[in-house]
Structure 1
Amino acid sequence: MTDIKTWVLTDTAQGIWMEELELTSPELGVEGASVRKRVLRGGLCDGVDVIEVDNGAFQYTILPTRGMGIWRGSYKGLDVGWQSPVAGPVHPGFVDLQDRGKLGWLTGFDEAIVRCGLDNNGGPAVDIVPNNMGVPSEVELTLHGRIANLPAHRVEIRVEPGDEPTIKIIGIVDEAALFYPGFRLHTEISTTGGANAFTIVDTVTNLKATDAEFELLYHCNFGPPFLEAGSRLEAPARLIAPRDPRAVEGIDTYAEYLAPTDGYIEQVYWYEPLATDAGATLAMLRNADGSRGVIVRYNTQQMPCFSQWKNTASMGDGYVTGLEPGTDHPNSKTFEREQGRLMSLAPGASHEIEMAIEVQDTATGVQAIQEEIAAIQGSSPTEVRREPLARLSG
């Protein structure tokens, strides 16, 4: 294959929207691969566009209707994702972000990978910004922001030539309002034939003529078969600190996981990651015997912060852990601003983020990842704080 192949699924500016499309290996030019676009019908899923990518080994589903998130995946029969109490994917039309004290985001939360941002990536908060008259005014920020509940206005499938042709799903999502910040998320989600990974390259652009702060966090959520009693999180870190008194209770076992536990209350730990000189780093959730692992790769020059969310509740309540790289920590926006962690974009400027999700399904593969983590850690000690740090918890 020498030419780029493109199929436009959605382009609102051109009046294009394709309800169904199925591409097989001969059309894609990638052995064993397929891509299918369809629309879900019925219940809370009604009207949700899904794109199902199969590279011959790794299958994953992208949700253009929900901010180009990754709903779930499977690598050689190993589920990548989790079992949420929410029967999704939920159409954003059924999600009231203001519900339950601005916690309505949770009524649509069941993805394996969901973006939190772009105006806010943390908890509900009140921020002070200039209104249309230039007067500082209060605005309410809802849990984890709006981007995951906004649809893409342009979506295409692209296959790029090479020794290993690349299958890309490209989407554009705008988060904008009159008198308030305006951002564009351009995402490319790509893989190659038979690969054990897929890559996400996101570019966030400030659409307005004034500087704009932004936040972005990737809520990467995994349950069984990677999460079980005795599973561990492995990640190179300079410092690890509990978020709050509840997290302090588990500080001695922050890296270890329980079996599903009735009544479990979440625990969150803040990490200051270590990385290579180029900023490359990773985190791995591995099962108890080290025979399988799921890995999040990212770059600290693009996302300097990392959070670990432990929620080993009963299966029915959501047995899951989150590996969460971000531009800052998911505290209130005002607190992150005070700590100097908010990123800002000049008019028309962009910030690019690249991350990857990888699966290892053998003990040898998991061991190789652990050695990679150990090499980044090197001789640097990990400082584990036994109490919340004022500069990290707000």
Structure 2
Amino acid sequence: MNKSLAASVSPALYSSKTNTKIFTLTSAEHNIEVGNWKIDSTQLGILDTYFIIEQKILHGGKQEGSKIITLTSPNGLTITLSPTRGMSIINVIGQDMRFGWDSPVKEIVNPAFINLESRSGAGWLEGFNEMMVRCGFEWAGHPGLENGEMRTLHGKIGNTPASEVEIEINETAPYEIKIRGLIKESTFKKAELQTLAELSYTPGTHHFTIHDSLTNHADYPRDYQIMYHSNFSKPLLEKDAQFVAPIKEISPFNDYAQKGLSDWSAYLGPTKDFDEMVFNIVPFSKTDGSTIAALHNKDGSKGAAIEFNVKELPYLTLWKNTDTEKQGYVTGIEPGTNYAYAASIEREQGRIRQVKPGKTVHFKIKYSALMNKEAVNKVKKEITDIQGNQKTTIIQKPIAKE
């Protein structure tokens, strides 16, 4: 467990470092829940920048009891996440910019109201509306039976409330803020995985970083899978918007996606009766394993970039769901340890990893809002440089059948 989380003993201020303040909002270990809570930079004596951090308890309908934390930087980004929903990011907003989408699911659904095994294992969809939801860690991908057990759609972590939540604020410029949550996937005889999920953001900037640490607390090796299901819609997604990445190999997920392989990187406007198209991608990277994928609007005046490392997340899934706006007009860019096939297929094709007893694996992803053409072009050049003269292999047929 992270030292500061372990040391959080009360909702009052706990200082673990010079010039750093840590606030505990939730602790299952110490039976703490501060409820509605708010602080701003002026209360901390920070006068050369301004930010607000607020936790709210939501009420009504299926969001009863859900919590959201909103970090607002007027000159940068406003980031909202939900500790109730596995530290998922609900949306990110900046000037003329939004990361996220308009799902038919409007509430921040409390997992207490979701049955993951409903709809033949696709009950996860009844709460799906996040900008970024973790699919994992015990398993991920499409629902299916393995060894007689149901592996529900995209795992359980996105519907698991964080047991410990804290906020760390550095009082020295540039005032980095970290929001951490500890999420436990513990089942007798099955798994004892704990994920320390951290979001870090510097006020006034247009990027933020996710750093997850997954630890196996069991006495046996355990499987893990993770897909960072990162979702975007308007104003980035529109007719002729483009996805760009340095691509080593691409294949259609199924026969329906095979029909869209000829123009897989371009998007339609909202289109009735468009089913989801999914593409499996192996990205190229720099020598250190770092790589980048991006989405930009039609004229390249704004976009979103996702940086990750193929040593941690070797695969990339592109999800195109350009259905009507009411149905959910959205695309997903999903770095992961695997593709979205059922766990049985991923195991058969060798894409399921294991973490040894007592060991920790790390995942780091940086999200950047590209606010103008200059920023978009800079990322596109970086992608072109990584691709270089290396050819993209296009596999015409799906690599698996569900």
Asked if these proteins are the same fold (TM beyond 0.5), I'd say yes
Instruction: Give the equivalent residue in structure 2 for 1:7.
Output: 23
Alpha-carbon distance between aligned partners in 2 of 1:194 and 1:298, rounded to the nearest angstrom: 22
Alpha-carbon distance between aligned partners in 1 of 2:38 and 2:194, rounded to the nearest angstrom: 28
Instruction: Give the equivalent residue in structure 2 for 1:353.
Output: 363
Alpha-carbon distance between aligned partners in 2 of 1:337 and 1:326, rounded to the nearest angstrom: 15
| Identical residues among aligned pairs (%) | 33
Query: Which residue identity is paired with 1:60?
Result: I
Alpha-carbon distance between aligned partners in 2 of 1:6 and 1:367, rounded to the nearest angstrom: 38
Shift of 1:21: 1.4
Instruction: Give the equivalent residue in structure 2 for 1:135.
Output: none
Instruction: Give the equivalent residue in structure 1 for 2:64.
Output: 46
* 8 Å contact kept, 2:39–2:54: yes
Change (3 A) 1:237 1:162: farther
Shift of 1:380: 0.5
Shift of 1:160: 2.6
Among 297, 302, 314, which residue is 2:307 paired with?
Answer: 297
Alpha-carbon distance between aligned partners in 2 of 1:249 and 1:331, rounded to the nearest angstrom: 19
Whether 1:339 aligns to 2:358 is no
Structure 2: gaps (5+ residues): 1-16
Alignment of 1:40-119 (within 5 A): 40-56=58-74, 57-119=76-138
Alpha-carbon distance between aligned partners in 2 of 1:46 and 1:31, rounded to the nearest angstrom: 34
Deviations 1:310-350, CA, capped at 9 Å, x for gaps: 00000010000000000111211121112221110111111
Alignment of 1:166-245 (within 5 A): 166-245=176-255
* 8 Å contact kept, 1:2–1:162: no
Alpha-carbon distance between aligned partners in 1 of 2:332 and 2:154, rounded to the nearest angstrom: 14
Structure 1: gaps (5+ residues): 129-137
Instruction: Give the equivalent residue in structure 1 for 2:337.
Output: 327
Shift of 1:80: 1.2
Alpha-carbon distance between aligned partners in 1 of 2:297 and 2:365, rounded to the nearest angstrom: 22
Alpha-carbon distance between aligned partners in 2 of 1:144 and 1:163, rounded to the nearest angstrom: 39
Alpha-carbon distance between aligned partners in 2 of 1:342 and 1:362, rounded to the nearest angstrom: 39
Alpha-carbon distance between aligned partners in 1 of 2:261 and 2:294, rounded to the nearest angstrom: 19
Instruction: Give the equivalent residue in structure 1 for 2:50.
Output: 32
Query: Which residue identity is paired with 1:50?
Result: I
SS at match of 1:107: helix
Instruction: Give the equivalent residue in structure 2 for 1:366.
Output: 376
Alpha-carbon distance between aligned partners in 2 of 1:357 and 1:62, rounded to the nearest angstrom: 14
Query: Which residue identity is paired with 2:243?
Result: L
| Worse-superposed segment, 153-162 or 189-198 | 153-162
Alpha-carbon distance between aligned partners in 2 of 1:208 and 1:160, rounded to the nearest angstrom: 34
* 8 Å contact kept, 1:125–1:140: yes
Among 280, 283, 297, which residue is 1:270 paired with?
Answer: 280
Shift of 1:389: 2.7
Whether 1:20 aligns to 2:36 is yes
Deviations 1:6-28, CA, capped at 9 Å, x for gaps: 11000111111111211112235
SS at match of 2:29: helix
Deviations 1:270-296, CA, capped at 9 Å, x for gaps: 000011111111111100000000111
* 8 Å contact kept, 2:139–2:223: no
Alpha-carbon distance between aligned partners in 2 of 1:126 and 1:307, rounded to the nearest angstrom: 22
* 8 Å contact kept, 1:309–1:321: yes
Shift of 1:161: 4.9
Alpha-carbon distance between aligned partners in 2 of 1:311 and 1:381, rounded to the nearest angstrom: 27
Shift of 1:42: 0.9
Whether 1:147 aligns to 2:157 is yes
Deviations 1:160-197, CA, capped at 9 Å, x for gaps: 35542210001100011101111101011011021101
Instruction: Give the equivalent residue in structure 2 for 1:260.
Output: 270
| Worse-superposed segment, 26-35 or 295-304 | 26-35
Query: Which residue identity is paired with 2:309?
Result: N
* 8 Å contact kept, 1:55–1:191: no
Shift of 1:75: 1.4
* 8 Å contact kept, 2:230–2:334: yes
Deviations 1:334-369, CA, capped at 9 Å, x for gaps: 211122211101111111000011101111110011
Shift of 1:55: 2.8
Alpha-carbon distance between aligned partners in 2 of 1:98 and 1:2, rounded to the nearest angstrom: 47
Query: Which residue identity is paired with 1:104?
Result: G
SS at match of 1:375: helix
Alpha-carbon distance between aligned partners in 1 of 2:144 and 2:313, rounded to the nearest angstrom: 22
Whether 1:285 aligns to 2:291 is no
TM-score, normalised by the number of residues in structure 2: 0.93
* 8 Å contact kept, 1:49–1:65: yes
Deviations 1:176-224, CA, capped at 9 Å, x for gaps: 1101111101011011021101100001111111110110111001000
Whether 1:386 aligns to 2:396 is yes
Alpha-carbon distance between aligned partners in 2 of 1:330 and 1:258, rounded to the nearest angstrom: 23
* 8 Å contact kept, 2:39–2:53: yes
TM-score, normalised by the number of residues in structure 1: 0.95
Query: Which residue identity is paired with 1:188?
Result: E
Instruction: Give the equivalent residue in structure 1 for 2:316.
Output: 306
Shift of 1:126: 1.2
Alpha-carbon distance between aligned partners in 2 of 1:333 and 1:207, rounded to the nearest angstrom: 22
Alpha-carbon distance between aligned partners in 1 of 2:269 and 2:188, rounded to the nearest angstrom: 48
Alpha-carbon distance between aligned partners in 2 of 1:293 and 1:140, rounded to the nearest angstrom: 38
Query: Which residue identity is paired with 2:315?
Result: C
